[in-house]
Chain A
């Protein structure tokens, strides 16, 4: 359980007024109309670098040289998304039903990160209704929302926080006002709890009864003052995910569970190289004659097969005889990719350091290769499509449903108003469903076959022809003199990441696809998410991307996990070069007091410096991202170098305004699993233009046996008025500690991550999909059933 004190500390009174928006409707519908102004989250813009700031007993020899703030310290990705959402925040509506329930049709995707629960908590707290009275649904694609229907960059609670609580506050104000009018009493004499307004002499009315009286007769902007965060009772307390009961009883529906009439199982025979295009399909009649097969269709991305059951469709997919173009990455393997990345790395350019004797300068150089890593959500790429001559209906887990709708309209020749896109709860994503590949394919297949289809990718295809975090090469150099770091340079040379389809709608996606458009988006994302949190003098971090057409997408934390983990390894190496303890060094050189507090917390709770047996060690890291902060102490057992294990992890996280500590903890324990995967085992090595792994075992996914038996997560109490993002950060908050513990345990700095990829001797042939017969049901419980 998250350990968060029951009450808030450090509460500040800063009741700010916002414009709410009253929507004309028979029942009460309210929204927010927020001013266009710079977000107030830039408070970490300050230089902390007081020399020798390690506190009592700290090593005085360390004299940090203050570093200038980087872009992300001033404006981060979430700040930009908050700005992008402002013009349409008046469309973020809550509706009070006559039965007292409060509806919020959330224009975001729920993938289990917990935002449906977090937003419901916010509405319940602001309105004084029971949490159970708030119903949160996932909104259909609504193009008029423009940039306000993106789920990504850990931005959801940040972009929804002000509009949702403003709309909720206006609803409460209108309901109380209606009761006051009815009863002829001043609003100030009335109280509200659990959705009931009460007045003197036992008067009471429910929100449901009051809603029609409080409803607006015309649209109007109304001034409203949401509660000060210190007044929240539910926000800041641990609340279980609201869909948990449906999940554990098997009732939670995902896209392929929907009973859409005639949407039959459909799968695609894909090219043996990434982005190969279909040239010929030799045996359509033979495939169509197979048992249970109903339709086949040849499309640019492969041969689609539709049938009665997925089992029969899978057999038919393997029976397809098809030829494909070689595609833009044919013949490419890991060795050639990393050679190109190294050759392209932007040179290091140490500036002259005036007044420093060259003999005193010492350089520390590091370089790392990070592997191509699949998103691999457990629910593979899926979508249901029913495309008719005059209309189309789509269902799927989609983080960018607006551009999905618009691209499907373009691909099917339909008007946008004739296309409906329903967003379903996703079975994991980690950035995968920022892209709408499955939905677009399903629409094209449905149009070609003239029938509804339930498209699902086979796991082998999801591993090989889907998207992933691109391979990257990192070159780092620190120049130190005495107890100071004078300069720190970090060059990231990467295969291009397809970060996001623009800002999630057609116009910005067109700009994204224009020449150099992708590069512009990528550099913006890198610069607004990656920042070095240390006073390392002159700091330069540069991204250079190569136009190698691997399938990629933003992967949980995007550029951060490999960049920040590489940097945290450098931090340990600098500390070692100065003869300093990694904790004392970080406390002296970190800019931000919040991160120092987190490090002290994990060091104390994790017993930093305790005696460890040979082959085992502790490691530390600190991180900031999405206006939040994290630190981790990890212990690694590397006595079997071929099978290193994180045995224990202590994580502390500062979300500034923690909405739901239980889901913040969940994001951190999940981020830790991702960090273990990318540092130790998970990769999609390329061979002949295709990733080799055909499934989970060859990919190297972390399982229970690789996850620590002991994990503690400390969620810091509220210390600010705006929530930070907490999903992406789970990986960079922990990866550096794992890598540093491994290095301290083995005495070796790895050149390549993951350090122990799976050795693959035999795999499913390129283009084919794998099936398995596990034999009869076991006679007794077996772990490997």
Chain B
């Protein structure tokens, strides 16, 4: 066992766990942050997406990663945002707002991962084309794909002030 320190949603944590423990289980089973979901543990469905960010609690330069297959040792020293931390207090992000306006979720289980993936995409590419959106690999078993596409385009408009 070794100590690993990192920041999640603006809070510093130090945990004493095996270094190869996947970060998803640190979030859920050690810290009790259950917004991040298990869908496969195989780096396939990306329901477990979280964001690596530059500053604690910020969403600056958000980079999505699959927590189900990322060892905690690779997260040491990093700043992380999970779906619980994407809103600033009651202030929803433009991606949140778009998701609500389009009424994307059905069962909702994958949606945290979808929203964080879209947040990373829009930060890297403020005007994603349909062909760009096609490349998203996050699985939605309910098949909300069309509304996800619409919500990403709507969020892009909100972010770009159109």
Contacts and interface: CB of A to CB of B under 8 A. Distances in A.
Interface of A: 111-114, 240-241, 243-254, 256-257, 259, 265, 291-292, 308-312, 314, 376-380, 425-430, 456, 458-460, 662, 666, 669-674, 694-697, 701-705, 707-709, 711, 769-781, 783-785
Contacts of B145: 669, 673, 702-704, 707
Contacts of B32: 259
Contact of B63 (A376, A669, A780): A780
B115 A248 contact: yes
A682 to B, nearest CB: 11
A666 B47 contact: no
B69 A772 contact: yes
B10 interface: no
B162 interface: no
Contacts of B147: 666, 669
B139 A378 contact: yes
Interface residues of B, number: 83
B84 A777 contact: no
Contact of B141 (A377, A711, A785): A377
A703 B137 contact: yes
5 closest A-B pairs by beta carbon, nearest first, are A673-B143, A250-B35, A427-B109, A112-B107, A250-B83
Interface in B94-137: 96, 99-100, 103-112, 115, 120-121, 123-125, 130, 133-137
Contacts of B46: 785
Contacts of A780: 63, 124
Nearest to B111: A247
Given A251-B84, A777-B52, A428 B109 contact: yes
Given A666-B144, A669-B147, A703-B137, A778 B86 contact: no
Interface of B: 1, 17-18, 20-22, 24-26, 28-30, 32, 34-47, 49, 52, 63-66, 68-71, 74-75, 78, 82-84, 86-87, 92, 96, 99-100, 103-112, 115, 120-121, 123-125, 130, 133-149
A708 B146 contact: yes
Nearest to B152: A704
A670 B143 contact: yes
A249 to B, nearest CB: 6
A707 B107 CA distance: 19
Contact of A704 (B75, B87, B99, B149): B149
B115 A701 contact: no
B63 A777 contact: yes
Given A458-B41, A705-B134, A248 B105 contact: yes
Given A244-B104, A379-B37, A784-B137, 14 more contacts: A248-B83, A256-B28, A310-B29, A311-B24, A379-B107, A380-B38, A427-B109, A428-B141, A670-B106, A695-B40, A696-B40, A696-B45, A780-B124, A781-B63
Given A309-B25, A705-B134, A378 B70 contact: no
A781 B124 contact: yes
Residue from the set B26, B74, B107, B112 with the largest chain A CB neighbour count within 10 Å: B107
B103 A776 contact: no
A781 B125 contact: yes
A254 B20 CA distance: 26
A112 B68 CA distance: 24
Contacts of A243: 105, 108
A694 B39 CA distance: 13
B126 to A, nearest CB: 12
Given A250-B82, A379-B109, A427-B108, A783 B28 contact: no
B143 A674 contact: yes
Given A428-B141, A674-B143, A707-B145, A775 B74 contact: yes
Contact of A378 (B24, B39, B115): B39
Nearest to B123: A781
B109 to A, nearest CB: 3
A308 B86 CA distance: 28
A703 B42 contact: no
A770 B145 CA distance: 27
15 contacts: A111-B107, A244-B99, A250-B35, A310-B28, A378-B110, A459-B39, A669-B147, A672-B143, A702-B145, A708-B146, A773-B70, A775-B70, A778-B65, A783-B136, A785-B63
Contacts of A459: 39-42, 44-45
A311 B25 contact: yes
Given A250-B82, A311-B21, A697 B96 contact: no
Nearest to B145: A707
A781 B142 CA distance: 25
Contacts of B99: 244, 248
